[in-house]
């Protein structure tokens, strides 16, 4: 098969979940003998034409000059290019801006498949006008795709209830991390289980402020490491200004080295996952596979994945109690159960095989 993956800033991952997903899926499909192309922003620091056997196409991206509107132009450039090539599958990751141009890539012989991601229109960083547009974009993606993929059962149910359409459930994957190295901790001035951790983009819907309020009001002596791009968003800067005065709270900044991230998760006491509007978030699975003790925002998406093998929260007061009373040493069963989920349900080998079978089956229809 000749497969194109659109909708990310490119690989290797230097941004977030979809980029990480595209990187792993594309390499996995190449190893199975397929030709895979990933479309990348011309601003990406990696400018080679190939990465680990995956072909890369870099397209003009004016986002750094004109802001969010540049995403529409970048997506248009990618789609116009994809339209000229002989792909069997064009796999769209998300719909926020690319659904506007999606009709442009229709051509005989190429299937357009869209991963619907989460409920983008619920993100509180967007104005009401933008939220209305995103609801429209969601509808366009449903109408203009040959097939839909839902990365969580919650999203699959949402698509069925709202649009009366079927979708194929294929979650994200992860690996079991089993090579811990305590030397990583030295760079961050912490010791084994002497800290809690949050890894996320600094956006309101990730409930970072709720987590910070709870931690600040707690009597714990542990540190809190916040890993994410706080310098790059107004919300992140606001959180830093409000909470960096607490000597226990440390704003680390963005980290993309998976070995460092896995070790920081592995040796933490609590891992906070506040995401509330997405589907199956890759960072949650990575934390589960890294033997982290999960403390998650109580919503359908997170609950479906973690279930009883973690601690849920819905308010800063409830979370404060968890921070003060829960220790990793007393919750080995939850950690073990989550490791089993990664090795049996969410393993990347299975996910990549599921995608291969799904793509082949749709081409045969």
Q: What is the pLDDT of residues 262-285, one digit of tens each?
A: 999 999 999 999 998 766 788 899
Residues 19-51 have pLDDT tens digits of 989 999 999 999 999 999 999 999 999 999 999
**With bands split at pLDDT 50, 70 and 90, how would you rate the model's confidence at 154?**
confident
**With bands split at pLDDT 50, 70 and 90, how would you rate the model's confidence at 153?**
confident
**With bands split at pLDDT 50, 70 and 90, how would you rate the model's confidence at 306?**
very high
Q: What are the tokens at 124?
A: 């509180």
**Can you tell me whether residue 249 is helix, strand or coil?**
strand
- DSSP code per residue over 17-64: HHHHHHHHHHHHHHHTT-EEEEEEETT-S---SEETTEEEEEE--THH
| Residues 145-158, mean pLDDT to the nearest whole number | 90
Q: What is the pLDDT of residue 285?
A: 94
| Residues 139-154, mean pLDDT to the nearest whole number | 89
The residues facing 42 across adjacent strands are: none
Return residue ranges of the chain for CATH 3.40.50.2000. Answer: 2-173+347-364, 182-344
Q: What is the pLDDT of residue 104?
A: 59
- Is residue 256 scored above 90 in pLDDT? no
Q: Report helix angle 17-31 to 282-289, nearest 10.
A: 70
Q: What is the pLDDT of residue 301?
A: 86
| Residues 134-148, mean pLDDT to the nearest whole number | 87
- Is residue 151 scored above 60 in pLDDT? yes
Q: What are the tokens at 145?
A: 């795709």
The residues facing 112 across adjacent strands are: 90
- Euclidean distance between CA atoms 112 and 126, whole angstroms: 27
Phi then psi for residue 122, to 5 deg, are -90, -5
How is domain 2-173+347-364 classified at the CATH fold level? Rossmann fold (3.40.50)
**With bands split at pLDDT 50, 70 and 90, how would you rate the model's confidence at 133?**
confident
- Euclidean distance between CA atoms 91 and 88, whole angstroms: 10
How is domain 182-344 classified at the CATH fold level? Rossmann fold (3.40.50)
| Residues 15-19, mean pLDDT to the nearest whole number | 83
Residues 178-203 have pLDDT tens digits of 999 999 999 999 999 999 999 998 98
Residues 77-108 have pLDDT tens digits of 998 899 889 999 999 998 776 665 666 565 55
Does the pTM of the predicted model rise above 0.75? yes
- Is residue 13 scored above 60 in pLDDT? yes
- Is residue 123 scored above 80 in pLDDT? no
Strands 147-150 and 168-169: parallel
More confident position, 141 or 117: 141
Q: What residues have CB less than 8 Å from 138, skipping those under 6 apart?
A: 95, 99, 116, 120, 121
> How many other CB atoms are there within 10 angstroms of residue 305's CB atom?
26
| Residues 214-235, mean pLDDT to the nearest whole number | 96
- Is residue 10 scored above 90 in pLDDT? yes
């Amino acid at each position: 098969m000749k497969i194109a993956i659109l909708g990310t800033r490119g690989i290797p991952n230097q941004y977030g979940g979809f980029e990480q997903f595209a990187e792993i899926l594309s390499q996995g499909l190449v190893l199975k003998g397929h030709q895979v192309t990933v479309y990348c922003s011309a601003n990406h620091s990696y400018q080679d034409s190939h990465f680990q056997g995956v072909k890369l196409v870099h397209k003009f991206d004016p986002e750094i000059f004109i802001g969010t509107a540049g995403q529409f132009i970048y997506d248009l450039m990618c789609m116009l290019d994809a339209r000229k090539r002989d792909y069997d599958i064009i796999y769209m990751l998300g719909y926020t801006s690319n659904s506007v141009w999606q009709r442009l890539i229709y051509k005989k012989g190429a299937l357009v498949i869209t991963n619907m991601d989460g409920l983008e229109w619920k993100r509180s960083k967007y104005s009401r006008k933008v939220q209305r547009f995103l609801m429209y974009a969601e509808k366009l993606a449903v109408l203009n795709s040959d097939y839909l993929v839902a990365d969580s059962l919650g999203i699959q149910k949402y698509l069925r209830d709202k649009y009366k359409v079927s979708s194929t459930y294929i979650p994200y994957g992860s690996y079991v991390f089993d090579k811990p190295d305590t030397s990583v901790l030295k760079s961050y001035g912490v010791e084994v289980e002497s800290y809690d951790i949050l890894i996320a983009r600094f956006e309101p819907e990730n409930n970072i402020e709720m987590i910070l309020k709870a931690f600040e009001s707690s009597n714990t002596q542990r540190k809190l490491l916040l890993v994410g791009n706080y310098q790059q968003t107004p919300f992140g800067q606001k959180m830093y200004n409000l909470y960096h005065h607490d000597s226990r709270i440390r704003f680390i900044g963005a980290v993309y080295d998976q070995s460092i991230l896995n070790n920081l998760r592995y040796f933490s006491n609590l891992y906070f996952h506040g995401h509330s509007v997405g589907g199956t978030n890759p960072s949650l699975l990575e934390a589960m596979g890294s033997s982290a003790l999960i403390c998650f925002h109580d919503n359908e998406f997170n609950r479906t994945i973690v279930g009883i093998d973690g601690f849920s929260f819905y308010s800063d007061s409830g979370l404060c109690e968890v921070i003060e009373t829960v220790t990793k040493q007393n919750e080995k069963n939850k950690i073990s159960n989550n490791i089993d989920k990664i090795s049996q349900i969410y393993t990347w080998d299975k996910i990549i095989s599921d995608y291969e079978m799904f793509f082949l089956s749709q081409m045969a229809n």
